[in-house]
Amino acid sequence: MSKQYALLVLLLSFTAGLHAHPALEVMDKMRLGTSDREVKVMTEIRLYKKGELESQRDYEVYVGSNRRSLVLFRSQAEAGQKMLMLDDQYWLFMPSSRRPLRITPMQKLLGEASSGDLSSLRWKDDYTVISEKQEGQKWVLELEAARSGVTYARVELLVDSDSLHPQQADFYLQSGRLAREAEFMLEKRQGRLVISGMKLQDRIQTNEQTLILYHSSEPVDIPERWFNPAFLSRETL
């Protein structure tokens, strides 16, 4: 269950935006469909332990501007829960409580580590490309965390050298230890190639795999008040 949060925050962090290495911009665009408009992404997260499906959760992810996002939990087990991210601050809203609960980056993990750490991942904002290498048809990009507070200090990103489409990413911790291996799933939807999901293999808890599926992404207008904790604690959305 906590993995889902973490993953969500992961999703949220793929905010479209600023000027960075073209590969990073391409990735953000491919996942969200647009780079500067607010979008709603219908997301599903499946958690596998030893190859068996352990849990499956649905989320409505609203990606706003200026690093703001809102996740509405749509599974029956988690109905009514919401998570708000404003910059680096996170709030949890529980249906059985009227209080917005501010949680620390540590606590958003609520149990298992790795997935949650991916939450702070905004490619363009969080990483800078420090080296590029051509290997056959692929670019191997070395990414380094651009600011403090990013959990994975280093990422090795493989993109197609022509299209800059992402194929694989390896996430490393500060100590140099490989934490996760991601495989990007690409699909053609309405004539365009998009990132339809990510397969994540946990390299620390090696019997865990996670599948993130982006079912749809469409532009929306998100009301300002949706990014207001006081509002969110009162209203069901």
Partner 1 sequence: MKWLYLAWKNLGRNRRRTLATLLLTAVAVLGIMALSGFALYTYESLKEASMRKEGQVILSHPDYFQREENTPMELGLGRVQQLQQELQADPGIDTTLAQINFDGLVSNGEKSTIFMGQGVQPESFQRQGPGVDLKQGRWLTPELSSQAVPEVLLGQRLAASLKVQPGDGLTLLGTTTKGVLNALDVSVRGIISTGIPELDARLLKVHLQSAQELLATDQVSQLGVYLQNPHQDKNYDQKIRDQYPELGVTPWQERATFYQSVRNLYNRIFGVMGVILLVMVAFAIFNTASMSVMERTRELGTLAALGTRRREILGLFIQEALLIGLLGSLLGLIMAAGLSLGLYWVDVQMPPPPGQTDGYPLYIYWSPWMAGITSLAVVLFAVLAAGLATLKGINKPIVEALNHV
In total, the chain counts a number of residues equal to 237
Q: C-beta of 174: minimal distance to partner 1 in Å? A: 25
Is 89 a binding residue for partner 1 by CB under 8 A? The answer is no
* Closest to 43 in 3D by CA, of 162, 229, 172, 217: 217
85: its two tokens? 């991210």
Candidates 110, 113, 153, 220; binder of partner 1 (CB under 8 A) is 110
- 153 interacts with partner 1 by CB under 8 A: no
**Does 103 help bind partner 1 (rule: CB under 8 A)?**
yes
Query: In sequence order, what DSSP letters do the residues of 200-221 get, joined into one string?
Result: EEESSSTTEEEEEEEEEEEE-P
Among 13, 43, 69, 81, binds partner 1 (CB under 8 A): 81
Rounded alpha-carbon distances, angstroms, from residue 140 to 79, 155, 231: 41, 10, 44
Interaction of residue 107 with partner 1, rule CB under 8 A: yes
- Strands of the chain (E only): list them: 39-49, 52-63, 68-73, 82-86, 89-93, 101-103, 127-135, 138-145, 154-160, 166-172, 178-189, 192-202, 208-219
115 lies in the binding site for partner 1 (CB under 8 A): no
Q: Is 34 in the site for partner 1 (CB under 8 A)?
A: no
Which residue's entry shows tokens 């709603």? 40
Nearer to partner 1, 94 or 140 (CB): 94
* Range in contact with partner 1 (rule: CB under 8 A) among 6-14, 99-107, 141-149, 182-190: 99-107
Is 94 a binder of partner 1 (CB under 8 A)? yes
Specify the stretch interacting with partner 1 by CB under 8 A; choose among 11-19, 102-110, 142-150, 166-174. Answer: 102-110
